[in-house]
């Protein structure tokens, strides 16, 4: 449940970050649950893939996953970018891809097991880490163009065109990464069924 500063009623998810303090929200989790590495990775991949497919249910005007790139690109094409939100989104997306790369590299180095499936998980993790690293590097261009909180000029035609090119390239990398994550999920599922 989410609540807004100064209010007692529950805040709908699609209003997070759009209330009294639009640029600030806090998320707290209170009870850890002990699970194994395989179960944890399987669950994480399920959530990640559902996000990429846009299967999350939150609000009528919210677009998730790979389709969000098309929405973002169309906003640039139509000069309908809200500068502060764009700068914030660029910072968050770039940061997320940077940490995804680091997580996957660490997973490749620390995944336990000697089976063919375990080696496949390490290999897919290494390859996906490289893709996310490339995404993070490409998104640095946008972060430099639209630094948060100073925003930049996203609706200026030359900057919009450059941004569209970066987003199209990142989307292609993202599509490749999704394929690897799907293969990793299928590998875990098959290994669980066999074991």
Spatial distance between the Cα atoms of 39 and 115, rounded to a whole number of angstroms: 17
Whether residue 45 lies inside any domain: the answer is: no
pLDDT value for 149 = 84
Cβ atoms of residues 42 and 189 within 8 Å: yes
Whether residue 44 lies inside any domain: the answer is: no
Whether residue 145 lies inside any domain: the answer is: yes
Please state the separation of Cα 161 from the chain's center in Å: 23
Q: Is the pTM of this model over 0.85?
A: no
56 burial via Cβ count (<10 Å: 0-12, 13-18, 19+): middle
Whether residue 12 lies inside any domain: the answer is: no
Spatial distance between the Cα atoms of 127 and 4, rounded to a whole number of angstroms: 41
158 burial via Cβ count (<10 Å: 0-12, 13-18, 19+): exposed
What average pLDDT values come out for the chain (195 residues) when binned by 10 residues? 61 59 62 88 94 80 89 96 94 96 97 95 98 98 93 94 98 98 95 82
Condensed to tens digits (0 to 9), the pLDDT of residues 29-40 reads 778 888 889 999
Condensed to tens digits (0 to 9), the pLDDT of residues 6-24 reads 566 676 666 665 555 555 5
Task: Verify cis geometry, omega within 30 degrees of 0, for the bond prior to 164.
Answer: no
pLDDT value for 3 = 57
Number of structural domains (the chain) is 1
Please state the separation of Cα 189 from the chain's center in Å: 23
Whether residue 51 lies inside any domain: the answer is: no
Whether residue 150 lies inside any domain: the answer is: yes
DSSP codes joined into one string, 19-66: SSSTT-------------HHHHHHHHHHHHHHHHTT-----TT---TH
Range of the domain at 113: 65-194
pLDDT value for 183 = 97
pLDDT value for 170 = 98
Whether residue 106 lies inside any domain: the answer is: yes
Backbone dihedral angles phi then psi of residue 125, each to the nearest 5 degrees: -65, -45
pLDDT value for 193 = 85
């Amino acid at each position: 449940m989410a609540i807004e500063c100064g209010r007692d009623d529950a805040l709908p998810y699609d209003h997070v970050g759009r209330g009294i303090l639009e640029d600030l929200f806090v998320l707290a989790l209170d009870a850890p649950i002990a699970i194994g590495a395989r179960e944890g990775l399987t669950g994480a991949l399920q959530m990640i893939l559902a996000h990429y497919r846009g299967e999350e249910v939150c609000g009528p005007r919210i677009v998730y996953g790979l389709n969000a790139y098309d929405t973002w690109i169309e906003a640039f094409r139509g000069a309908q970018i809200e500068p502060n939100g764009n700068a914030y989104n660029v910072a968050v997306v770039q940061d997320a891809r940077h940490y995804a790369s680091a997580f996957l590299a660490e997973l490749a180095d620390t995944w336990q097991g000697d089976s063919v499936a375990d080696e496949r998980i390490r290999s897919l993790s290494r390859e996906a880490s490289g893709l996310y690293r490339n995404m993070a590097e490409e998104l640095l261009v946008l972060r430099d163009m639209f630094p948060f909180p100073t925003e930049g000029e996203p609706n200026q035609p030359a900057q919009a065109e450059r941004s569209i090119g970066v987003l199209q390239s990142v989307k292609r990398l993202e599509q490749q990464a999704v394929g690897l994550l799907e293969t990793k999920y299928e590998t875990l599922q098959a290994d669980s069924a066999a074991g």
